[in-house]
Amino acid sequence: MKVLEETLNARIPSGPLDQKWTRHQGELKLVSPNNKRKYTVIVVGTGLAGGSAAATLAELGYNVRSFCYQDSARRAHSIAAQGGINACKNYQNDGDSVRRFFYDTIKGGDFRSREANVYRLTELSTNIIDQCVAQGVPFAREYGGTLANRSFGGAQVSRTFYARGQTGQQLLLGCYQAMMRQVNAGKITLHPRTEMLDLVVANGRAIGIITRNLVTGQIEKHCADAVVLATGGYGNVFYLSTNAKGCNVTATFRAYRQGAYFANPCYTQIHPTCIPPHGEHQSKLTLMSESLRNDGRVWVPKKPGDRRPPDQIPDEERDYYLERLYPSYGNLAPRDIASRAAKRVVDEGRGVGPTGVGVYLDFRDAIRRLGEQNIAARYGNLFDMYQRITDENPYKVPMRIYPASHYTMGGLWVDYNLMSNIPGLFVIGEANFSDHGANRLGASALLQGLVDGYFVLPYTIGDYFARFKKLDATTDHPEFDQAEARVKDRIRTLLSINGRRTPDSFHRQLGQLVWDKCGMSRNADGLREAIAKIPEIRQEFWENVKVVGTGEDLNISLEQAGRVADFIELAELMCRDALAREESCGGHFREEHQTEDGEALRDDERFCHVSCWKSNGPDADPDLIIEPLAFENVQLVTRSYK
């Protein structure tokens, strides 16, 4: 591994923290209203980030081309978010403020995020609620007609806005409807069932993408004045995750191969409350919203191997381990901490359920206190979902939960303007690395997607247009032909192998390896083993994968194979990053670096930085570039939730 001397300019504005964004906005260059219509922007992704960006850019007058792999923009993975969205409105008068939200986010991210970005995120959070309410998003309300809030995952104030257990759905439909209004106005062209397979870079600037029409198989070239990637996270690298089945890393990974830096790939979030896997046919894992931890109590038997049914285990023989270990946060301890604690008790042989991989989330006491009816009003749909999947009634028997891959903090590197190191390539939402450091707070991903798309990118993209000379937006550049040739070659190769193993079987194998070696806890030996093993999987994949059908047609096994191929390469990068980061922070837990009582041990001397990886192609080691993190407004302290 080579560490390059290069300095990355994050373009963080000067001045006091609380004035940076306002000042910056005043200094950003503008494109005049009449000129905006001369610019075309490609937005890949229609989740909260891509949807809000596409709608807002179109409202401003830009021409937008919007891409997604689903049959409709409304189905992006954001739709599945359950719990809520944070904003420091302080409606509950419980002492919330931008400053407090800022601090909670910085601390939650274990001091591995940029102060300026986080401050902007929290500062703009209040505008997001205004915007969504004005669109008709039916957030939960109090009887007086005002908006309701709840406290969520590791926050001591109630700053989470929600729409029953379907917040993501309601927010996304708001975005989607705003987009459809612009489709109607002729400002957005939709390209559903279309997958981006490569990025086109000419003269150092992003000028377009290559896509495959998933119905006809046609490979198409699209040029534009700027490309925005809003393609979500890479949690499916673990195969089993709470992400939608189609979530993939292809768009961002192909951009990485074209020169965009990948930042902190080892920062992945394992969510503590998912339904445990049941068997080998399992295709995905289902999240049980973290809001359940407001009323459910997490426990396992004190004795290892205690197989008695839960109602026969008396209270004295139960270990409410989160309450015991973290008395001030209890069951609401942050995700990474709650997940590792669950892993620890399961590793001790105290896990529950048929596989022994699981812990209880028990509502007995809450039902006694509040009555079944109130619990049903709060969590009814989640309880129903749990029952449908497991065939167990959580009003009577405690839920069983276990951590699962959920979110990825790592992603393409961007500066304060959300632009990658390739001018003209912007990255927003979960696809970038920007705001959550080493661990994301619950209910802040929806926020980030919307802040990026509604209120940041639409300003900063104009600055790019105003500062850089306008290029001819045509597909005549030879780089388009080269990119198209790369894509076609790869498809041809995949179709010609005709081996014996399905793409899915490689994905499962890879997922298990990454989960074991680069999951909830990691160590140098395991990571080295994975780094040696992954190229073997890659080699076998390219010799033995079976893809049926042709390229010029709808072809599911070809789609899968392309995505798995990219996950294999990404997995190696993740492990390299995890090996290089010789400390524990947030979701990245290195067993060699822990305190006596098993908590994460950061090394601020050596690792208070963003690790940015530069590709040298699939067969050479990537180089590392470091962006140091400067903390001017908070003191780095050990993150304690005791």
Ligand X SMILES: Cc1cc2nc3c(=O)[nH]c(=O)nc-3n(C[C@H](O)[C@H](O)[C@H](O)COP(=O)(O)OP(=O)(O)OC[C@H]3O[C@@H](n4cnc5c(N)ncnc54)[C@H](O)[C@@H]3O)c2cc1C
Contacts to other proteins from residues 98-157, by CB under 8 A: 127, 129-136, 138-147
Beta bridge partners of 64: 41, 188
| Nearest to other proteins of 138, 618 (CB atom) | 138
Tokens of 163: 């729409």
DSSP label of 530: H
Give buried/exposed letters for 398-417 (b at 16+ CB in 10 A, else e): bbbbbbbbbbbbbbbbbbbb
Nearer to ligand X, 387 or 523 (CB): 387
CB atoms within 10 A of CB 562: 23
Per CB under 8 A, does 192 bind other proteins?
Answer: yes
> Number of C-alpha atoms within 13 angstroms, CB side, residue 395?
15
Q: What distance lies between CA 218 and its chain's CA centroid? A: 30
* Partner whose binding site includes residue 398, from other proteins, ligand X, none (CB under 5 to 8 Å by kind): none
Only segment of 24-32, 299-307, 323-331, 546-554 that touches other proteins (CB under 8 A): 546-554
| Site map (CB under 8 A) of other proteins, residues 586-625, x = contact | ----------------------------------------
- Partner in contact with 300, chosen from other proteins, ligand X, none, beta carbon below 5 to 8 Å by kind: none
Helices (H), 432-477: 445-450, 457-467
* Nearest distance from C-beta of residue 392 to other proteins, angstroms: 11
Looking only at the bridges linking them, the beta strands covering 160-161 and 85-86 are antiparallel
Query: What's the min distance (Å) between Cβ of 229 and ligand X?
Result: 8
Tell me the closest approach of the beta carbon of residue 515 to other proteins, in angstroms: 19
425-454 positions binding other proteins, by CB under 8 A: 454
Q: Is 278 in the site for other proteins (CB under 8 A)?
A: yes
Shortest CB 91 distance to other proteins, Å: 7
Burial 471-490 (b: 16+ CB within 10 A, else e): eebebebebbeebbebbeee
Q: Which does 131 bind (CB under 5 to 8 A by kind): ligand X, other proteins, none?
A: other proteins
Rule CB under 8 A: which of 552-571 touch other proteins?
554-557
21 binds other proteins (CB under 8 A): no
Tokens for 527? 């990571």
What residue type is 331 in one-letter code? N
505's contact among other proteins, ligand X, none, with CB below 5 to 8 A by partner kind, is: other proteins
Residue 279 engages other proteins in binding (rule: CB under 8 A): yes
Residue 441, contacted partner among other proteins, ligand X, none, CB below 5-8 A by kind: none
Q: How many CB atoms lie within 10 A of CB 27?
A: 9
The backbone region for 232, taken as left when phi is positive above 0, alpha when psi lies in -120 to 50, beta otherwise, is left
Helices (H) and strands (E) in the chain — how many of each? 18, 20
Task: Give 30's contacts (C-beta < 8 A, 6+ positions apart).
Answer: 462, 463, 466
Q: How far is the CB of 148 from other proteins (least distance, A)?
A: 9
Count Cα neighbours of 339 within 13 Å in the Cβ-side half-sphere: 26
Which of the choices ligand X, other proteins, none does residue 446 contact, using the CB cut-off of 5 to 8 A by kind?
A: ligand X
Task: Identify the active-site residue in 74, 75, 114, 335.
Answer: 335
Residue in the shown chain whose Cβ atom is closest to ligand X = 47
Of 73 and 573, CB closest to ligand X: 73
Cα–Cα distance, 98 to 113 (Å, whole number): 16
Using DSSP bridges, classify how beta strands 40-44 and 63-67 pair: parallel, antiparallel or unpaired.
Answer: parallel
Compute the distance between CA of residue 417 and CA of residue 336 in angstroms, rounded to an integer: 29
Across 414-520, where does the E strand assignment appear?
425-427
Residue 106 binds which of ligand X, other proteins, none (CB < 5-8 A, kind-dependent): none
Nearest C-alpha neighbor of 497 from the set 562, 449, 553, 433: 562
397 touching other proteins, by CB under 8 A: no
Cβ closer to other proteins: 173 or 568? 173
554 interface partner picked from other proteins, ligand X, none, CB below 5 to 8 A per type: other proteins
Size of the site for other proteins (CB under 8 A): 82
Q: What is the contact surface with ligand X in residues (CB under 6 A)? A: 44-50, 67-70, 76-78, 80-85, 167-168, 195-196, 230-232, 242-243, 247-248, 250-251, 287, 406-407, 429-431, 443-446, 449
Q: Is 231 in the site for other proteins (CB under 8 A)?
A: no
A 10 A CB-CB count for 57 gives 28
Assess whether 335 carries a catalytic annotation. Answer: yes
- Residue 614 has which token pair? 């530069």
Q: Which lies closer to other proteins via its Cβ, residue 10 or residue 240? A: 240
x-or-dash string of contact with other proteins, 22-61, rule CB under 8 A? ------------------------------x--xx--x--
- Which sequence positions are flagged as catalytic? 335
